[in-house]
Amino acid sequence: MIDSKPVTTPISQGAKLARNEAIDSTRVKEPYRELVGALMYLSVCTRPDIAHATSYLSQFNNCHQRTVALSSMEAEYMAISDATKEAVHLRSFILELSPGSNGKITLYSDNIGAIKLAENPVFHNRSKHIDVRHHFVRGIVDNGEIELSYKSTEDMAADILTKGLPGPKHRTCVKSLDLSCDYMRTN
């Protein structure tokens, strides 16, 4: 370990992995799948700070999304829609465990336009092309099942799960998620 080169983050900012077409043998693929599975278990259960780096290892198995966003507001609106699906499920779970609670869940977004679009069911010229399946979030917000709230990009702890970050931002996210990593103390 004397000659090791410590790093401050699990993946460097802006890192891109390329697919190696030459590796086709099952003999090579099976141990790789086992390793990726083990790392995914670690990232989900004990080390969410390595989740983004781990996701790169299996990204070529993913399907492409069914719709394409034409703006950042639209992409965030689609993300709010997907998060709302999960929130509705979690809300019903919370209400089952604790029938007396209001079960209201707050979703945070760093895009004010997407929040306004979800909160205002009026027809918008700029959003008429968005697939209807994403608009169900409006009814959920109107019913008071979830609340949408703005949080600036700098304050988003979830960034650690979606992209490579520079060392100081990575440490801030680790602390805000209340994680503790021994390697963080030495660097």
24: number of Cβ within 10 Å: 9
How do the domains of the chain map onto residue ranges?
24-64, 73-151, 154-186
pLDDT computed for residue 149 by the predictor: 93
Going by the DSSP 8-state scheme, the letter that residue 102 receives in this structure is -
Average pLDDT on 5-12 reads: 74
pTM score, whole prediction: 0.60
**Residue 39 in tokens:** 């790392």
Residue 146 has pLDDT above 80, yes or no: yes
Q: Out of 27-31, 41-45, 125-129, 152-156, give the one with best mean pLDDT.
A: 152-156
Average pLDDT on 34-48 reads: 79
Residue 62 has pLDDT above 60, yes or no: no
Q: Which of 54-63, 162-171, 173-182 has the lowest mean pLDDT?
A: 54-63
59 — pLDDT class (breaks 50, 70, 90): low
* Amino acid of residue 100: G
CA distance 123 to 126: 9
Cα distances from 116 to residues 111, 150, 162, in angstroms, run 9, 10, 24
pLDDT computed for residue 84 by the predictor: 92
pLDDT computed for residue 187 by the predictor: 47
